[in-house]
Amino acid sequence: MALDRTVAPSTTSPAPGRAGAYRWWLLLVVTLAQVPVVLGASLPEAVPTPPPADLGIDSGDVVWMGRAHLLALGALLLPAGRLADLVGPRRTFTIGLIGLAGASLVVGTAGGPVPLFAGRTLQGAFGALVLTAGLALLITAFTDRAERGWVLGLHAGVAAAGGGLGMLVAGASTGDGHWRVLPCAQAALLVALALGALRLFARHREPAHSRITGFDLPGALAATIGVGCVLYGCLRFETHGERDTTTWLFLAVGGVLLGVFARRQALAGSPLLPPRIVLNRDRGAALLGLAVCGTATTVTVRFVAVHLRSGGPGFTASQVGPRLLPLVLPLLLTAPLAGGLLLRRIGAKTIVPIALGLCCVGFVLLYAVDHNSSYPTNVVPALLLIGFGAGLAFGPCVGVAVDGVRAVGAGAGATVGAYVLGAAIGVSVLARARGEAFRLSGTPQWEGNPMVPPTAGVSARLVPVYEWTGVLLAFALVATAVLFSPRSRVITPAEDA
């Protein structure tokens, strides 16, 4: 069995002036690098996929081309985080960038369904390396707590806005041949970022930090297969429903494997995810907040797409994305503010429940929206409330979830994994309700593509989704108010393994 030990931290570091420049250039590279990943992870249906006739793909398989990205990403986040702890976040991040660029190029130049599906899967796998190692790099580079809070808030805001950003580009990337533009552009961007990262790392020594050694292979297999089964089971709800035996079988197998994984982490000498990271009450509350906010933002983005395409507004596909800005912009603005200023002055115990309360009010407003509702007077206020609420929650939750964790890669994997799991739940629940709405309203099957306009009346039948999401937010509000400790501003550094 592999032994877990800590390598002595590096004693070399760049000069103060050069270190400051390095940190901010690193923030730019990491932020830009996560954009292609979150475009596909936050809302798989927003990722442009080829028309079925383009590559001979059955219409029912089109949506799974996008969801292959989410499945691989979610399943590999924890092993990717541990890999960052083993070989270093710089090396892991660089490998992820190069691999993601290659996978995007495979998708953009695919001549058949097999390379397209393989490319989507590889995008998710290498995206897991980019997200976890990128977050670990920021944690180790920004050691000042105030500065780190702003940075992690910005990082969380960009990730959380991924669904809205995906919808912004989805409308312009549909149609014959147009779907190839986005992955090819992503490949070019990622190659440039990889070259920039290599140059940056070559000119600046790695900041001092402890490196963990040892890898729990059985635990990694249990976590990867378990999370993959749970995600696949959730995503099957749309097409197969809750009465499908195979769906529940995948969920059951995934639950058993995750139970085995949790038991092994408590006994292993080199745990993939040290138990104290998630058992700490403040971190547990933060991870819960991230998951619930991931569900809420995903449901909101998807709702707006349905409403604006099916109801009175009758917007075209390219017009839907810009009308998500009342959600995206407040989220991007408030997440850094909440993580950098409000967390230190007020504490997560106060901020996060208030933020979740704002989201609840936003969903109450969505509850009253039907296909005849006006976008400026009925939809925009709800988007603003949810945007501000999610931003106020994401910043502090990420800050508390990763601060004080010595195994920064494992902490980053758990943090990103909580959000991805919440987004997957939002996709599966809303997709299933949407399918029922189409069936009850007599609308032809939509094949999961938000760019295809449904008929009027569908959005009004999605009310149960807003009810359940509101209930979930209310539960998280109470849970975080109870779990967060009164002094949950920042955990003591290196408190946990």
Q: So what's the pLDDT on residue 471?
A: 86
User: What pLDDT does 109 receive?
Assistant: 87
The rounded distance, in Å, linking the Cα atoms of 468 and 247 is 21
- Identify residue 254 by its one-letter amino acid code: G
- How far does CA 97 lie from the centroid of its chain? 17
Q: Which of 301, 293, 303 is nearest to 352 (CA)?
A: 293
d(CA 202, CA 361): 49
Closest CA to 354 of 446, 484, 249: 484
**SS percent in the chain: helix, strand, coil, step 5:** 75, 0, 20
Extract the tokens encoding 381: 């206020």
| pLDDT averages per 10-residue partition of the chain, 497 residues | 40 50 90 85 52 61 76 91 90 95 90 86 94 92 84 87 70 59 88 94 71 78 92 77 84 93 85 84 92 87 73 64 86 91 88 94 84 81 94 92 84 88 73 56 46 48 72 92 78 45
CA dihedral 55, 60, 61, 66 (to 10 degrees): 100
User: Which residue reads 């081309």 in tokens?
Assistant: 65
Q: What are the structural domains, with CATH classification, of the chain?
A: 20-215+270-483 (1.20.1250.20), 216-269 (no CATH)
- pLDDT given for residue 323 in this prediction: 83
pTM for this prediction: 0.85
- Give residue 72's pLDDT: 92
Return the closest-CA partner of residue 220 out of 272, 270, 256, 278. Answer: 272
Report the pLDDT value the prediction gives residue 102, as an integer from 0 to 100. Answer: 95
pLDDT of residue 241: 67
* Residue 1, token pair as written in the block: 């069995």
Rounded alpha-carbon distances, angstroms, from residue 348 to 145, 396, 469, 485: 15, 6, 22, 8
